[in-house]
Structures are given as structure tokens and as C-alpha cells.
Amino acid sequence: MSYSFIQGKRDNPKKSVVPFRRHEPGTQPDYLYPAYRATRLRAPSQPLIFLPHTLSEVTGPVFGHSDIHPNDRDLTLQHTGEPLGERIIVRGRVVDGDGHAVSNTLIEIWQANAAGRYAHAKDDHPAPLDPNFTGTGRTLTDDDGFYSFVTIKPGAYPWRNHDNAWRPAHIHFSLFGPAFVTRLITQMYFPGDPLFAYDPILKSIPDERARQRLVSQLDMETTKPEWALGYRFDIVLRGREETPFEMQGR
Amino acid sequence: MMDLTPTPSQTVGPYLHLGLTDLRSIPRLAGDDAQGERVWLTFRVLDGEGAPVPDAMIELWQADSEGNYANQDSTDGESFRGFGRLATAENGSCTFETIRPGCVAGPGGTVQAPHVNVSILGRGILKRLSTRLYFAGDRANDADQILALVPENRRPTLLARQDAARTSNWVFDVRLRGECETVFFDV
């Protein structure tokens, strides 16, 4: 499988670089969150060095429709039979920090099956694999920034972070956006999951309001009668600073 | 009114391969027709105890041999993509094939030394780590304004080493924490 690339807009990059806005304190996780044990050996100990945005940060890869197959956005159609579990529709809109649609951007997802097991060689949770479910999908947002997936509601599963540790049900999301610095990888959760209070990965985000932004909402508009419940999950990528700073040509 | 604070990041987790690399690896950033000096970049990711990280993912973004990014005004078109993505193997390593980038326009009319923008993602990494690979011995490094932001004693962590036996091969260690920790940037 290979990606083909389409050529994006030519906005005279050598003349001006419009930087992207920085995150508000507390709205993103820190690198070191000791309750999430794996961060203890993988989080940097030195402070990060502030990098003013250059052409290298404000450009990024562009993916096209040729990268997507029709069944990529319906995870229930990828095998000969139907997967087991609760069929759901996940739909949402991707916008930037100014509320503008982020159109034609690649979204990739992956998840456990209804029993809480990933179709991955290293997942040894003793729950059944589903021969009709791989749990991987992708799509491009439309011109208004909307996307949707049809899938199966993933199950919760145990992990070895601490005694009796269980991850709340979640779907992994990967997005590119327009620049190298808008790259986002996150997880979507389901409303009202009682495991939130015990999950150090979700709790690594200091700001409670920011944390809630990862929780999808039951959406009766997306729900299809007699067929599948719908969940709404909107995503906000970083927006640009208002004032461009001028760069001279080379 | 929707809250427009950017969505928080979460770890890519241990099963990233399922969604991102099993079928979606991009080990080559430049096709056969791309102009420039062909090089192979090997990354080795090590944790705070110096142990290889076997479940990380590296993404690269770089300019072509003339210093243009692929979706801007690269003359190489389809043959040069400038984007790569690989998971690390059990030994913490992965190797990309590309061409050596040219100098890229920098702030205030300066030029940036040839560099590759690097993302590191993985289990235990709650948000993307960002660094840059520069080529050791490149004369343009001395005038690079981003390298100049880095304390001199830590700059070597951003320099890929050329393999003495195979000079088209370059090696870049990503030390996540502790001794000789790689410089990561707040982007």
C-alpha cells in the first residue's frame, strides 16, 4: 500500500510564514505523568526549546482521494461477514482554532473489537478475536470538514499499568491538518464511561474541560433508526496567528 | 458556540501499527526520479535507561534537494513526497530512504541548513515529540538560526552521524530521556 500525493495550494511560501497559535496551559497533557507508568522512561527531562515557526513547521503532507478505498470508512464491510457487537456511526467536523472547516484532510482510526481485543500480534488479552473485524479505517474530511465512520463499539480492556487497570472504551484518531505542527493523534471516548475516573491516560490532561472534549456525545441526528446509534465527535486543530510576520525571499 | 480550544493529544498506544504502519508505512520519501543525493536515514529510539524502544513510530517531513516542500513549489512533483512514516523494530530502529534536502528559507531572509523534521510517537508519549535531524559536518549548520537556539553542548544530539563504511547512510539516535537526551522543540 502506498500513498499518492496531490499538489496543494501555492501560497507563495517564501514571502511569508504565518505561525500557528500555541496551546493554552493545561489543555494538552504534559509529557511526564507518573501515574501513566510508561511516561517515566519516555518523557524528556529537559525543557523543550521554543522554536519559532519557519517554512518547515507551517507546511505538511497532503493526501488525496486516491489514498482512500470505499470500504475504508465502513469497518463493518471489510470482511466476508458482519462483525459482532454494537454497530455505531461516528460523525463529526474538523475545524481549526478559528472555527474554519479543515477540508480534505486525512483521518485514520484504529480500535479494539467489541470484546476489547485488538487484531494485533502483541495484544494477549484473553478475549476473542473477531474474524470479521480488523478495526482500522480512514477517510478524508469533506469540503465542510465533516467525516463519518461506521464501526463497532469497542470494548474496554485491561492493561498492566497498575493493579486492576482497565482502559475506557476508545477509538484512536490520527489527523494531519494543513501543517507539520497541526498533526494530532488522540483518542475518542464514549459518554458516561465509569472508567474515566481510573484512567491515567485521559487524566493526564490537566484541564477538566479540555478532557471532556475527548468524550463523544450520543447524537440522535446521526443515529439511523432500526440500524445504528450515532456518536458525534468534533475535532479542533490549531489555528494560525492573526498577524503574519514577513520573511524576505532567499 | 463551539469551544475552539484545540483537541488534546493522547498517546498513540502500543497498537499503533494496526492503524498507521501495518499497511500504511512510507519508508521512501523520494521516488526514483527525485533529484539529489540519495541517502538512508536510520533512527534508533532509546528510553531513559538506554533500552531500545520497540513500539515507537517516526514520521519525517523534509524539503527536496532545492529546499522546497512538496506541497509548495517543489519541482519534483510526484517523484518527491517529502513525507515518511515507519514503526521502530524490536531493536528500536527504522531506516528511511530519501534524498538529502537542500537549504530551506528561514526567518528574516536567512537560510536554514539542510534538515529533516522529525516526529516521535509511541506508547508512554502523551503528545508528539518534535525534533530536527541535521547532517554532521554540513557547513550550513554554523549559520542555522534554529540550531543557534540550542545550547552548544546539546547541539550534537541533533546531528546525524555519517556511517564511515557506507557514506550514504546516516544514523540518528533519539534519546527520549536522561544522559545525552535529544533536544526536543516546542513547536
CATH number (domain holding residue A132): 2.60.130.10
Average pLDDT over residues A138-147: 97
Using CB atoms within 10 A of its CB, is residue A234 exposed (0-12), middle (13-18) or buried (19+)?
middle
What pLDDT score does B1 carry?
64
Confidence of residue A248 (pLDDT cuts 50, 70, 90): very low
Q: Which domain holds residue A135?
A: 63-242
Confidence of residue A13 (pLDDT cuts 50, 70, 90): very low
**Residue A9 reports pLDDT greater than 50:** no
Average pLDDT over residues A206-224: 97
Q: What would the pLDDT profile of A89-102 be if each residue is shown by its tens digit?
A: 999 999 999 999 99
**Residue B52 reports pLDDT greater than 80:** yes
**Residue A70 reports pLDDT greater than 80:** yes
**Residue A12 reports pLDDT greater than 70:** no
Confidence of residue B72 (pLDDT cuts 50, 70, 90): low
For chain A, what is the mean pLDDT?
Answer: 92
Cell 515529540 appears where? Answer: B129
Rounded Cα–Cα distance for residues B46 and A48 (Å): 18
**Residue A249 reports pLDDT greater than 80:** no
What pLDDT score does A1 carry?
38
- Which residues of A are known catalytic residues? 118, 157, 167, 170, 172
Cell numbers representing residue A64 in the block: 488525496
**Residue A4 reports pLDDT greater than 50:** no
Chain A residues whose CB is inside 8 A of the B18 CB are: 110, 118-120, 134-136
Cα separations (Å) of A135 from A70, A175, A214?
15, 17, 19
**CB contact (8 A) between residue B186 and residue A49:** yes
Average pLDDT over residues A216-220: 98
Rounded Cα–Cα distance for residues B41 and A60 (Å): 20
**Residue A5 reports pLDDT greater than 70:** no
**Residue B25 reports pLDDT greater than 90:** yes
Domain B16-175, what architecture?
A: Sandwich (2.60)
List the single best residue of A24, A41, A129 to mutate versus B (max B Cβ within 10 A): A41
Average pLDDT over residues B134-161: 97
ipTM: 0.96
CA quadruple A66, A72, A73, A76: dihedral, nearest 10:
160
For chain B, what is the mean pLDDT?
Answer: 95
CB A19 within 8 A of CB A246: no
Q: Least CB-CB distance to A33: which of B72, B105, B126?
A: B126
**Residue B73 reports pLDDT greater than 80:** no
**Residue B141 reports pLDDT greater than 80:** yes
Cell numbers representing residue A214 in the block: 475527548
**CB contact (8 A) between residue B129 and residue A46:** no
Work out the minimum CA distance from A23 to partner chain B, whole angstroms: 7
Average pLDDT over residues B150-179: 97
List the single best residue of A42, A211, A250 to mutate versus B (max B Cβ within 10 A): A42
Break chain B into its structural domains and give their ranges.
16-175
Cell 450515532 appears where? Answer: A230
Q: Least CB-CB distance to A27: which of B6, B111, B112?
A: B6
Phi, psi dihedral angles at B159 (to 5 degrees): -100, 120
**Residue A11 reports pLDDT greater than 70:** no
A84 falls within a domain: yes
Rounded Cα–Cα distance for residues A185 and A103 (Å): 18
SS3 assignment, position A202 = helix
Average pLDDT over residues B137-159: 97
A33 falls within a domain: no
Express as a percent the part of chain B with pLDDT over 70. 96
pTM of the model: 0.94
DSSP state of B28: B
What pLDDT score does A10 carry?
40
Any residues with CB less than 8 A from the CB of B54 and at least 6 apart, and which? B88, B89, B90, B91, B92
What pLDDT score does B71 carry?
74
Average pLDDT over residues B5-27: 97
A189 falls within a domain: yes
Confidence of residue A243 (pLDDT cuts 50, 70, 90): low
Q: What would the pLDDT profile of A151-192 be if each residue is shown by its tens digit?
A: 999 999 999 999 999 999 999 999 999 999 999 999 999 999
What pLDDT score does B74 carry?
60
**Residue A8 reports pLDDT greater than 50:** no
Chain A residues whose CB is inside 8 A of the B123 CB are: 38, 42
A3 falls within a domain: no
Number of domain units in chain A: 1
Cell numbers representing residue B131 in the block: 525534533
Average pLDDT over residues B21-36: 94
Confidence of residue B108 (pLDDT cuts 50, 70, 90): confident
**Residue A244 reports pLDDT greater than 60:** no
